[in-house]
Amino acid sequence: MWRLYHYSLCPFSRKVRLALAEKSVPTELVGEHPWEGRDAFLALNPAGQTPVVTSASEDVVLADSTAILEYFEETVRDSPLMGSGPLERAEVRRVIAWFDQKFFAEVGVILLQERMWHRIITRQPPNTTLLRQAHQAVEGHLDYLEYLLDHRRWLGGSTFSLADIAAAAHVSVVDYLGGIDWKTHDLAKQWYSAIKSRPSFRPLLTERTAGLVPPNHYDKLDF
């Protein structure tokens, strides 16, 4: 049994959690607040970031979501999630990087700071200018997601892959924090609805963070 140190609203943790569920890797979840900087957690990952995956005896310790997923892709043959062939794999990696870097910097981290951190930790009002910028950015990202889906079945190519998992992980956190208006994004909505209905996604959608209520549509398949 593997152990995943995660924070429920951390998109990188969600990415690992979803991929391990897709690959049927038995995993025990351990909740971690990375900002607390627990000594035992820092000993596992000096970067102090979730997610971290360890073997039961902690002789294997893996950190950084993409490094973790590549490890399991190499060691667990079932349900391959990287696409087939070098070109498709390069595209899957590109889309993962898009969401992990660009989407997170322009949207995810702002929503987490303004709607999670300020509400439940610092108790400060959110910065509405930053929120407005994030809302504008999310529109551009959903347009791009729809452009990709206009040209292929899944985000990384013809098969469901880590590109879809990474994107859905980031989108789900922003959706929990009320940052997505689905009304004008039918194609993105269809894609997300298909992902929401996967068994790997269901437990994640039922989880709640104390003090933060998601919008009504958050866990609905038909939203």
Ligand X SMILES: N[C@@H](CCC(=O)N[C@@H](CS)C(=O)NCC(=O)O)C(=O)O
Minimum CB separation of residue 5 from ligand X in Å reads: 10
Q: Which is nearer to ligand X, 21 or 173 (CB)?
A: 173
Q: Which two tokens stand for residue 178?
A: 């009320």
Minimum CB separation of residue 101 from ligand X in Å reads: 9
Minimum CB separation of residue 170 from ligand X in Å reads: 10
Q: Which is nearer to ligand X, 51 or 83 (CB)?
A: 51
Minimum CB separation of residue 180 from ligand X in Å reads: 18
- Annotate the chain with three-state secondary structure: CEEEEECCCCHHHHHHHHHHHHCCCCEEEEECCHHHCCHHHHHHCCCCCCCEEEECCCCCEEECHHHHHHHHHHHCCCCCCCCCHHHHHHHHHHHHHHHHHHHHHHHHHHHHHHHHHHHHHHCCCCCHHHHHHHHHHHHHHHHHHHHHHHHCCECCECCCCHHHHHHHHHHHHHHHCCCCCHHHCHHHHHHHHHHHCCCCCHHHHHCCECCECCCHHHHCCCC
Distance CA 59, CA 120 (A): 35
Q: Which is nearer to ligand X, 62 or 145 (CB)?
A: 62
Q: Which is nearer to ligand X, 12 or 191 (CB)?
A: 12
Q: Which is nearer to ligand X, 48 or 214 (CB)?
A: 48
Minimum CB separation of residue 141 from ligand X in Å reads: 17
Minimum CB separation of residue 195 from ligand X in Å reads: 19
Q: Which is nearer to ligand X, 117 or 182 (CB)?
A: 117
Binding site for ligand X (CB under 6 A): 7, 10, 12, 34, 48-51, 64-66, 100
